[in-house]
Structure 1
Amino acid sequence: MEGIIEKSSSNHKLVLDNYCKLIICNEEILSRLVKCFIDEAKHLTLNEIERLIKEKKSFHHLDKENFIPYSGKTNYDFLCTIDLSQRIYLNIEIQNDPNPGYSLITRGLTYISRIMTTQWKNEYYDYDYNHIKKVYSIWILPQSAKKNDGHINAYKIDEININGTTIERIETYDKGVLIMIYLNKEHDTNEKYIIYDNILTPLVAFLNNVLSYQEKRKIMKEYGFNVIDKEVEKMCNLGEMIEREAIQKTRKTERINSIRNIVEGFQCSLEKAMDILKLTDDERKEIRKYFQA
């Protein structure tokens, strides 16, 4: 299925990409990501986090387009702030290509830097750097290699005493965390991940079109999802439509090649070749249009 999607139109891939983004910003997925990976939310229950996300006072969607003069424009998949013990900036990215030709780690760190920079005039002014808010950037790679399935890496600034005993307060440098989540689309959803299975298995199921809609519904029920059904169903329907179109295109290509081989091999007319293959009237019209083009 993934191979079929790769060969589909750019418009189809764009729509699928948008459905993936809708899924990750769904409150049920988002609350689990926050619970698992944001340190400042570890003490909260899943229900408490969901309530925070629903509250306009504590949760804000931010503009996904980021422009910095002389530094260009970046479009985030998802960006928000959550007010916990302190305000947290959360960026989530879906990266289907695990090897785009550059380091995703470096790109992720760049995103964190940009989000910090654009806090100016919102969280801090001029040299009031103490008010810069911590940024989390979570990157989900749903089509990673099988050997990396379930791997999770975190990157952040830490203090190392090279000489002396001076210790700085952690909040002065703990301003950015990059988290990379590696998943494989062929993961057996009957097998549990060692840690964070309550979010990793749903991500595998919902972000890839390997499973059918009914199989995904089974995952929803097993893992306690209630309101994400609509996004998953639309994504499955689009995936099935793309697959049908790709199959029809493949069959048409095979038919054209067969006719060409008959015409050239038997030195016969196009009409005779179509008679041999017993094509329907509609198929004949389509074939004539192709050879007349």
Structure 2
Amino acid sequence: MKKRTLIAEELDAAGIKVQYDEHVKRILSSRQVLARILQGAVSEYAGCCTEEITEWIEPGIEVSRVPVKPGGKRENELLITGDNTESKVPGEGSLTYDIRFRALLPGQSKPAAVKLLLNVEAQKKFYQKYHIVTRGIFYGARMLSEQLDREFTASDYDELKKVYSIWICMNAPKHIGNAMSEYRIAKQDLIGAIPEQQANYDKLSVVIICLNEEAPEGNCAKLHGFLNTLLSPAMDAAEKERLLAENYGLVMEQELGKELRQMCNLSEAIEERGIKKGLKRGLKQGKAQGRAQGRAQGIQLAKAVIRLAGEGKNEEEISAACHITVNSVREILSD
């Protein structure tokens, strides 16, 4: 029996796509990558160098894997030991975070001084059945309520830590392009003025980062250039590693380089498999017009289907756009 490799022909397209998603999560969970995200998207780290931020990120970064019920009052749970990626609260259901971690604020080094709890999510498209900002608020609110009996006890609410929910949206529509917005709790005096320090109510921020690799750079922030390069499905691994090192100072650790190469290989495998299926269909349809034309039609059809799927279109939308049946779309994208 032949040895199964990461991009072996035996792997079905659905399985490959699942692995691709997992590689994206693991790449985003790199301390070097998270440091650059914090530097560009979290105001508390503006002006700090990535080397410093890397040291402030806790040792344990959790990527969605096996869910574990959070909670408990053991002393070591108040230290920097990593957060579970699934949240279960009685009566509130459960949710699973892509990446969850904690970080010290600049200038603070003691475990007791942990101030920020952060969650990073990767999305293949901007438009969902819901608004991403609304989901981000829900995730942030859950991270706040979970702190009872973990970060503080009884009525000691002043120990509540600020939370960030950061959403990275790939394939943003052209009219949005490369953009970033923050949604946060703010104070507005309606009658008179109530004296209150911002730190006492500024406890939740949702940051949405939209990426569009094809959009003109314009005033695009350095973070967008970094993430577009890091997550590009079209760029080969060697070129990606070179640009990340030369332009963004990323040190190609063995594990990070391995994840990048595997992600690129998986992307190529998905496209190659889809082209083969589309080619087969195109050859069948093009017999009357000649084999060469049928081959060209098959490749063009497969590329169109794969491109639309990469933009987050569902099977029905791809079917309508390519003028083929839903079953044909499934045939190209999977076994």
By how many angstroms is 1:217 displaced? 2.6
Alignment of 1:12-23 (within 5 A): 12-23=16-27
Distance 1:209 1:195 in 2: 20
Task: Say if 2:212 is the partner of 1:202.
Answer: no
Task: Say if 2:155 is the partner of 1:127.
Answer: yes
Q: 1:100 aligns with which of 120, 128, 153?
A: 128
By how many angstroms is 1:195 displaced? 5.4
Aligned to 1:284: none
Confirm or deny: 8 A CA contact 1:202 1:219 kept in the other structure: no
TM-score, normalised via structure 1 length? 0.78
Aligned to 2:104: 83
Q: 1:61 aligns with which of 57, 82, 91?
A: 82
Confirm or deny: 8 A CA contact 1:187 1:204 kept in the other structure: no
> Could you report, residue by residue, the CA deviation over 1:217-273 in whole angstroms, capped at 9, with x for unpaired residues?
3321222111232221110011111111111111222334456x69xxxxxxxxxxx
By how many angstroms is 1:122 displaced? 0.7
> Could you report, residue by residue, the CA deviation over 1:134-192 in whole angstroms, capped at 9, with x for unpaired residues?
0011111111012212211111111111011222121221100111111113246xx4x
Amino acid at match of 1:223: Y
Runs of 4+ in 1 over 6 A off after TM superposition: none
By how many angstroms is 1:127 displaced? 2.1
Aligned to 2:188: 160
Q: Secondary structure at the match of 2:57?
A: helix
TM-score, normalised via structure 2 length? 0.69
Distance 2:118 2:36 in 1: 13
How many pairs does the alignment contain?
A: 253
Q: What's the % identity of the aligned pairs?
A: 27
Aligned-residue Cα RMSD (Å) equals 2.6
Confirm or deny: 8 A CA contact 2:178 2:215 kept in the other structure: no
Aligned to 2:33: 29
Distance 1:248 1:37 in 2: 41
Distance 1:173 1:105 in 2: 19
Aligned to 1:140: 168
Confirm or deny: 8 A CA contact 1:60 1:82 kept in the other structure: no
Aligned to 2:44: 40
Amino acid at match of 1:173: Y
Aligned to 1:225: 250
Q: Secondary structure at the match of 1:146?
A: coil
Q: Secondary structure at the match of 1:79?
A: strand
Which structure 2 segments of 5+ residues have no match? 1-11, 61-75, 109-113, 295-335
Distance 2:90 2:147 in 1: 14
Task: Say if 2:92 is the partner of 1:71.
Answer: yes
Aligned to 1:291: none
Which structure 1 segments of 5+ residues have no match? 1-7, 263-273, 278-293
Distance 1:254 1:55 in 2: 52
Amino acid at match of 1:250: G
Going from structure 1 to structure 2, the CA distance change for 1:184 and 1:195 (only over 3 Å counts) comes to closer
Confirm or deny: 8 A CA contact 1:186 1:210 kept in the other structure: no
Q: Secondary structure at the match of 1:161?
A: coil
Confirm or deny: 8 A CA contact 1:80 1:90 kept in the other structure: yes
Q: Secondary structure at the match of 1:135?
A: strand
By how many angstroms is 1:60 displaced? 4.1
**Which has the higher Rg, Structure 1 or Structure 2?**
1
- Highest relative contact order (Cα 8 Å, sep 6+), 1 or 2? 1
Q: Secondary structure at the match of 1:163?
A: coil
By how many angstroms is 1:43 displaced? 5.1
Q: 2:276 aligns with which of 241, 248, 258?
A: 248
Amino acid at match of 2:221: Y
By how many angstroms is 1:12 displaced? 2.0
Amino acid at match of 1:23: I
Amino acid at match of 1:212: D
